[in-house]
Amino acid sequence: MSTDFAAHAADYLQLRRALGHELAEAHRLLPRFVDHLDAAGVTTITVAVALDWVRRRDVGPASSIWSRRMTVVRGFARYMSGIDPATEIPPLGLVIHRQRWNPPFIYSSEDIQALLRAVPVVVPSPLRRATVETMIGLLACTGIRVGEAIALDRDDVGCGEGVLVVRASKFTKTREVLLDPTAAAALAAYAAIRDEQVPQPVSRTFFVSGKGTAMIYANFGLLFRRLVETSRVGSGSSVRPRIHDLRHSFAVHTLVRWYRSGDDVTALLPRLSTYMGHRAPIYTYWYLSAAPELLSLAAERLQNQHAEGHRR
């Protein structure tokens, strides 16, 4: 007797989505676990078969992938236990990963320009080239998440009003993101190219692929890595540039600008937190230690405050 794990996995993912969960990781990893179960010829999930897949030697235990795989497996096993009582749910603590803080690569304006100059070299399609260039520019000047940019609907982009509406983002929050006039103009120019190239798109998303379909996160990430390699951005750095670092860079540059202008950074941080869609301001404080220049400016501000206090 065989078990149709693929069908059960599809039902499980559909149920989780209906409950409002984000499942990007599960969508990517769960089919691979199902393939492993089918290849192993098992009809019931056991701890042993789960560990066999989780601890595959394609990555080492120092990577976070083992714990991420186990999280996906444990959720699916918990669901399957209601269908097959013999299912074994892997207990917590079998795979432990100590989260390490990876310092971000802070892109300079010159780095962004270098990435944009590499786009025509890497991307031959005119529409796809315009999509990639505009997306990189938007990520750099607003700090929104890559997934948020990809998910933007055409009605969410108010070029005339200079506002983006980011709906149901990471923490199921909807927020408005104000745009600089140059950013709004760039989005309007892209929309004109998009509508000329694809008058009848398959998708209603604002950003589309060369075929008029919605952008795929994994494909955009792969393309971005090629742009980094081609442009040689970060080639002399010990930190590998990542696409999400565009968001980190926006936050750091904003804070540096506030410090240099003499603004009350403590009072302004909650605004930045809201703008970036953080769950709470405490997550925005992380950026204060993300760049040496920020630490230096913060220390200088603190010293000046102490000196002012002594003079009084």
- The phi, psi pair for 46, rounded to 5°, reads -120, 165
Pairwise CA distance, residues 228 & 218, whole Å: 15
> Is 248 assigned a catalytic role?
no
Q: Which of 74, 247, 248, 253 is catalytic?
A: 247
Q: Which long-range contacts (CB under 8 A, 24 or more apart) does 192-196 make?
A: 193/126, 193/127, 193/130, 194/127, 194/130, 194/131
Write down the H helix ranges in 180-291.
181-197, 217-231, 245-261, 265-276, 281-284
Pairwise CA distance, residues 206 & 155, whole Å: 8
Alpha-carbon 111 to chain mean position: 20
> What residues does 205 pair with on adjacent strands?
153
> Is 145 assigned a catalytic role?
yes
> Is 36 assigned a catalytic role?
no
Pairwise CA distance, residues 185 & 159, whole Å: 7
Q: Which of 170, 204, 240, 271 is catalytic?
A: 170
Pairwise CA distance, residues 290 & 106, whole Å: 9
DSSP 8-state symbol, 91: P
Q: Which of 8, 167, 244, 301 is catalytic?
A: 244
Q: Are 224 and 139 in contact (CB under 8 A)?
A: no
Q: Are 69 and 97 in contact (CB under 8 A)?
A: no
Q: Which of 36, 145, 194, 253 is catalytic?
A: 145
> Is 306 assigned a catalytic role?
no
> Is 8 assigned a catalytic role?
no
> What residues does 227 pair with on adjacent strands?
none
Pairwise CA distance, residues 174 & 277, whole Å: 8
> Is 170 assigned a catalytic role?
yes
Residues catalogued as catalytic:
145, 170, 244, 247, 278, 287
